[in-house]
Amino acid sequence: MTVLPNSVHARDIESLVHPQTNLAKHREVGPMVVTHGEGIKVYDDGGRDYIESVSGLWCASLGFAQERLARVAYEQMRTLGYYHSFRHRSNEPNVDLAEKLLSIAPVPMSKVLFQCSGSEANDTAIKLIWYYHNAIGKPEKRKIIARNMGYHGSTVAAVSLSGKPDMHADFGLPFEAFRHTEFPHYYRRHYAGESEEAFATRMAVALEELILEEGPETVAGFFAEPVMGAGGAVLPPATYFEKIQQVLRKYEVLFVADEVICGFGRTGEMWGSQTFAIEPDMVTSAKALSAAMQPISALMINEKIYQAMLQQSEKLGPFAHGFTYAGHPVTSAVALEVIRIYEEMDIVSHVKSISPTFMNALEQHVDHPLIGNIRGVGLICGIELMRDGEARIPFQSELNVSGRFHENALNNGLIPRVVGDRLVFAPPLVITENEIAEMSDRFGRALDETWSEIG
């Protein structure tokens, strides 16, 4: 596009740094300026509509405009637009939301800590792992394990936890205490003839070997997303979490389930932990907690963790942790109303009922010459771009297949999420059957145009 002087595009280039953006390229092409949203679509400043295939950043679960939530935010701002929760202060929206979250937790939880983002929630969980082990007299338990290609945030500790080398490069990260185990991507990484169960066993053995190599007395915690989001919507192989949890219990390693993407219906249950029989010590959530309408996250902790925190407080005094905007009454009020909407529409049943339509619409493209594999659950799906899907032979990098697809998708009114040579779909949870069909049509046209360029 041509960037006109003094346009919002030109002003953007001269004033903003965009996350996860090629900064040099951005100076050449400028931004897509989004002006408004309606349902599952957003509109640019030229009036063109786009289906948002991954809910913005996995988070716009109720779509991109919500009058009901705007009214709740407005009314809360009129009565108490801000107050903190430091030093014994509280507010009713905070308490109501905490109670509600504990009542719907995937496993029994004791208390809630609020923050403003998923990154902050995972950062807080990291601190509490260390705090807990100091409280129980095991300060040597410092190392925390996550998975290659896992993503847990952009703060310096959360991104150290993340297993994405591109997010570490030249930032001086990861920090020393963090380790990474195998990326459990069955399609890409299984041996010929290896079943999902055998692959899961190999992943669990690799985790145990890492713990033993590091010294079990030094390993404190393990983080995992039920479905690996930024890794490409990668589902766990059958029996994976059953076997992983056996290892964690054996060596007394705390388990944090990162539900930032999977929480609130995405996988067809309220929590991904329920979908995959995960029994964590802590749960982090964000994104769909407020349907992306307010910046809020929540960390839920079990009674064991809370008792250790009480013990530390008796020894040290105040719990010396917190964020200025954590427990903000407006964000809590909006999140509570979002959960009410989920309950009114029975979001879990809706996702379960529409998931077959969603998966069938995407799987109708499985024989396309660009596609090697399609796998999903609920309203999240990962699709492999492969030269030969059966043999798992990728396209040559110089063809830039994913980049070409991205441009063709935009030209067809579809905003895609591309992770390497993998495509991700996670549309707003309110998507209808007709909208799924329209999304699939736009997807198909983008595939055909891409293939015509390289085939």
The answer to whether residues 341 and 351 belong to one domain is no
Q: What's the confidence (pLDDT) of residue 1?
A: 63
Domain of residue 46, CATH code: 3.90.1150.10
Residue 5 within a domain: no
Condensed to tens digits (0 to 9), the pLDDT of residues 3-27 reads 788 899 999 999 999 999 999 999 9
In this structure, are 41 and 133 located in the same domain?
Answer: no
Boundary of a domain, candidates 317, 345, 373:
345
One-letter amino acid identity for 392?
Answer: R
Q: Are residues 423 and 370 in the same domain?
A: yes
| Strand residue runs (E) in 160-318 | 178-181, 219-224, 254-258, 282-285, 297-301
Residues 97, 133, single domain; the answer is yes
Cis peptide before 174 (omega within 30 of 0): yes
Model pLDDT, residue 455 = 74
Do 120 and 150 belong together in one domain? Answer: yes
Considering the domain architecture, whether residues 296 and 402 belong to the same structural domain is answered as no
**Assigned domain for 422 exists:** yes
SS3 107: coil
Do residues 129 and 220 lie in contact, with contact meaning Cβ atoms separated by under 8 Å?
yes
pLDDT tens digits, 175-204: 999 999 999 999 999 999 999 999 999 999
What CA–CA distances, in Å, run from 166 to 163, 206, 222?
9, 23, 21
Ranges of the chain with pLDDT below 70: 1
Rounded to the nearest angstrom, the gap between the alpha carbon of residue 257 and the centroid of all alpha carbons in its chain is 11
Structural domain total, the chain: 2
* 88, 232: one domain: yes
Classify residue 11: in a domain, yes or no: no
193 lies in the same domain as 274: yes
Same domain, 54 and 90: no
Residue 52 forms beta bridges with which residues? 415
**282 & 165 share domain:** yes
Q: Which DSSP letter does residue 54 get?
A: T
Residue 8 lies in a domain: no
| pLDDT at residue 434 in the model | 98
Q: Specify whether 147 is located in the same domain as 281.
A: yes
Find the DSSP H helices in 165-281. Answer: 186-189, 196-214, 240-250, 272-275
Say whether both 337 and 210 belong to one domain.
yes
Residues of the domain holding 147: 69-345
Model pLDDT, residue 6: 84
Q: Are 392 and 442 in contact (CB under 8 A)?
A: no
Out of 345, 360, 381, pick the residue that ends a domain: 345
CATH code of the domain in which 95 resides = 3.40.640.10
Instruction: Compute the distance between CA of residue 308 and CA of residue 315 in angstroms, rounded to an integer.
Output: 11
The beta-strand segments (E) located in 293-451 are 297-301, 371-377, 380-385, 414-415, 417-419, 422-425
- Retrieve residue 432's tokens: 């209808």
Q: Which of 345, 374, 395 is the last residue of a domain?
A: 345
Kindly state whether residue 27 falls inside one of the protein's structural domains. Answer: no
